Amino acid sequence: MATTSARALRLLSVLGLGTTLGAAALAERLDTSVRTVRRDIETLRELGYEIEAIHGAGGGYRLGRATRLPPVVFDEDQAVAAAVALQTVPTILSGIRENSARALATLRQAMPARSRVQAEAFTVSAARNYWEFPAPPIDAGIVRSIGSAISRRHRLRVEHEGTDLTLEPHELVVWAARWYLVAFDPQAQRWRVMRADGLVPGPPTHTPFERRPVPLNDAVTFVMTTPDRGDTPARWQCQGSAVLALPAPVVARYAPGGSTVEQLTEASCRLTLGAWSWAGIAGLMLTFDADLSDLEPLELREAFASLRARTGRALD
């Protein structure tokens, strides 16, 4: 009975994602048989959960729209995910440390004993890794305002660099601890990628809009390959630039956080970035394995000369 209850709980959590999945897909996720999945679905229905069977192509099982999941029902993996997420979120959101600690304490109190043991086993302290080039945490209120407009599919009014804009917000993407908004600008009739920490959201517009297909059919790829995404060079004691013989979208995808990419031609761009040393900047630029030119400033050129001498001695 305990095994059946645990398996049914896992099935309920999978269906709680809101997707429609066939019996075979559910069986694969739960590492069980199709027959067992169907039996567990009947068990959940007997317990009062509305699980709909969708027929035809793309059909399967899903939770009914009126179904309410029990409060704070976690399996072990979900307990761990919640504990880790709530402890690490202050590294990317400011003004939320106390609230995340309170939320974690509340969840632990409401969890079943077995899940609580799993959650309490993960006490996490986040430390900065200088190779990650992270950004300072963004104000949680900005994310809340933008996220609300996205979920409601309402137009978003923001101030950006002293200009008032009305956007159709589609996605928020977190990359290298930086928050990016993917939005369509109806006035300019173009898609934009914008740093969320550079936006000042205004009051809700309550004006709905129809979603459009995101460029490249993937918001994450669109953000990563867009050179003009509102980034500015991170503040380091050393900052330099060079022209790379690579297309700007390629360099934008693999450039460290806190760098900027300026398209020059279809096959070249200027990369500007900072690091803790001039040799560090040179090393990062060499990882692109492309021809370099127009190195600035003098200290960066000297660092490349020093690296050339060192590697020459190492080869000798």
Residue 240 has pLDDT above 90, yes or no: yes
The predicted-structure confidence for 194-214, as pLDDT tens digits, reads as follows 999 999 999 999 999 999 999
Instruction: Indicate the DSSP class of residue 136.
Output: P
Architecture in CATH for domain 238-315:
2-Layer Sandwich (3.30)
- The CATH number given to 2-63 is 1.10.10.10
Give the domain ranges of the chain: 2-63, 76-120, 138-224, 238-315
- Is the predicted pLDDT of residue 67 greater than 70, yes or no? no
138-224 has CATH 2.30.30 classification: yes
Put simply, whether the predicted model's pTM sits higher than 0.75 gets the answer no
Contact between residue 74 and residue 106 where contact means Cβ atoms under 8 Å apart: no
Least confident of 18-27, 194-203, 273-282, 301-310: 18-27
Q: Which stretches of 245-290 are assigned E, i.e. beta strand?
A: 260-265, 268-275
- Pairing assessment for the beta strands 138-139 and 93-94 based on DSSP bridges: parallel
Q: Which of 199, 257, 250 is nearest to 226 (CA)?
A: 250
Q: How big is the chain by its Cα radius of gyration, in Å?
A: 25
Nearest to 3 by CA among 53, 49, 39, 34: 39
- Would the pLDDT of 1 be above 50? no
pLDDT score, position 107:
72
Q: Is the pLDDT reported for residue 71 higher than 60?
A: no
Residue owning tokens 């009739």: 189
Which of 67-71, 186-190, 275-279 bottoms out in mean pLDDT, i.e. has the lowest? 67-71
